[in-house]
A and B are shown apart, each in its own frame.
Chain A
Amino acid sequence: MNLTRYQKPDLSWTSFGRLSSLRDELDRLFESPWAELARTSQLWSGWTPALDIHEDKDNFTVHAELPGMKREEIDVSLHDGALSISGERKAEKKFEAAEVYRTERFFGKFQRTVTLPAPVAADKVKAQYQDGILTITLPKTEAAKPKQIEVNVN
């Protein structure tokens, strides 16, 4: 599993339009699906969906790219503070007999697990699948939320 923690750049791309990361540069250099492919080394290990994780004071939000799936084919589970997204994408049967010109899409089983940096309330986790993006909202447990402590200065 290739999971590296996101390193915030000194000048974030959100504030300065597009100050590209090295990966963006590389993607542009190759400008082909192969760049995408090499990035996740899908060629050797099936495929792993790309995902983003955001954190605010109440929730973790995970967005995973799973284009062309059915809701029931996606499994989301939480175990010991580790979130797992797994499933199987099946190829469409109707093109089985057809002559194939290009096959760049990946089918088959996938799994991706990420460890969350703080405990979440497992019973309040929500998942939604729309436009090929799986959005998982994981509310933090009360204990994990930042607390304001009032200090009286006399």
Chain B
Amino acid sequence: MKSIVQTNPKPTAERTAPQEFVAPVVNIFETDDGYALEAEMPGVNKDGLEITLEGNEITIVGRRAPVRVSGTLLFRDRSTADFRRVFELDPAIDTSKISAKMEQGVLTLGLPKSERVKPRRIAVSD
């Protein structure tokens, strides 16, 4: 019997199980100029990267580039899940100047502090 309510209008190819993510491991450093964040996302290239900024929160999503491998799987310990992690930003960060670089599966975010909070040397007048 045909159902009146169409529950899933999407074609089969687009329909996927609820998205699962793994959190990428990160290193975070602070210097006088700002912060640097490195996130390991092997198998993700520039095109698979989505970085969104919402208020004080930065969300990093990395989607693995599809790899076509023929044959049967003998052994597996890699995860196939995409990467996602959210960070709260220090209000001192100038969000308009955030930079991102992707190199061999490692994302490096440059999070510079705004000029007003940078340590400054004050010249002393005579």
B74 in contact with A55 (CB, 8 Å): yes
Contact of A56 among B38, B72, B79 (CB under 8 A): B72
Residues of B near A46 (CB, < 8 A) are none
Produce 1/0 per residue, A48-68, CB < 8 A to B. Answer: 001111111101110101111
Complex interface: chain A residues within 8 A of B20 (CB) = 18, 24, 28
Answer yes or no: A6 CB below 8 A from chain B CBs.
yes
Interface flags for B33-48 (1: CB within 8 Å of A; 0: not) read 0011010111111000
Q: Is B106 on the interface with A (CB-CB < 8 A)?
A: yes
Q: How many interface contacts (CB-CB < 8 Å) are there between A and B?
A: 148
Given that A17-B17, A95-B36 are contacting pairs, would A65 and B43 also be in contact in the complex, using a CB cutoff of 8 Å? yes
List 20 contacting pairs A-B, 8 Å CB cutoff, sorted by A.
Answer: A8-B73, A27-B79, A31-B22, A33-B24, A40-B77, A50-B79, A52-B73, A52-B75, A57-B71, A61-B69, A63-B67, A65-B105, A66-B104, A68-B105, A70-B104, A95-B27, A99-B30, A102-B28, A129-B104, A132-B43
Determine whether A72 belongs to the interface, using a CB cutoff of 8 Å to chain B: no
Number of interface residues of A (CB under 8 A): 53
Contact residues of B with A, CB < 8 Å? 16-17, 20, 22-31, 35-36, 38, 40-45, 65, 67, 69-79, 81, 103-106
Nearest chain A CB to B79 CB, angstrom units: 7
A56-B70 CB under 8 A given contacts A68-B38, A98-B30, A132-B43:
yes
State the main secondary structure of chain B at its contact with A: loop
Chain A: minimal CB distance from B7 (Å): 17
B27 touches A56 (CB 8 A): no
Per the bound structure, the CA–CA distance linking A1 and B70 in Å amounts to: 27
Give the residues in chain A near B40, CB-CB below 8 Å: 67-68, 105, 132
Chain B residues near A99 (CB, 8 Å)?
Answer: 29-31
Closest partner residue, chain B, to A3 (CB atom)? B75
In angstroms, Cα B102 to Cα A49, docked, is 20
Q: Do A33 and B76 form a contact, CB below 8 Å, given A98-B31, A132-B105?
A: no
